[in-house]
Structure 1
């Protein structure tokens, strides 16, 4: 997990998501930031940035083929998850409450209790 560190996205973007869940790299990405093929999913924490995260960043991550994108919406105590890439767009947007549990696409055996995630970030 990388916390507020850059990732490289085509063509020339290096956003610094709040969390990037990435593949293990023997050099710990000292030589380069992780790119799209290294990223399992990205999490942004939104308080005042919710509109930007839902519009601009969802487009940015979809165009870079990031398979899953989560927004922790602190204003409404919920998690918004984007999935199912097609034609550089996410086809689904699901909104989960704090009482829900979710399995990330890359780790289907892992269940994330969103109540605990929202408490940690809030």
Structure 2
């Protein structure tokens, strides 16, 4: 009987296209304070949607006062799927979280001077249009 060798191979997607970020600046109205000089760690994460959303994931990266969000899919090639949220001189604290309901996806995050809830339409509600939120 022939011996079969099982193995794994990494498949690297074509990433030759330049990523174009949409930039959104959010002014929290915070006054200049000593808390703005606080050191916060850089971090990132991801969230995989329920099976109804057909292999779609939301990823994020946080660096000081910038939150980068992008959506990826195993079934569709998205364009314009990257957005940068810049919180004007207000560092984002560690602990961004994503929650979903049947109709919406909620992104919860806190800065040193404010708390934010971002509500986006759930991906399964936009299945007829294979593009991300933004």
Q: Answer yes or no: same fold by TM over 0.5.
A: no
The higher relative CO (CA closer than 8 Å, separation ≥ 6) is in: 2
TM-score (norm 1): 0.28
Higher helix proportion: 1
TM-score normalised over the length of structure 2? 0.26
Larger C-alpha radius of gyration, 1 or 2?
2
More strand by percentage: 2
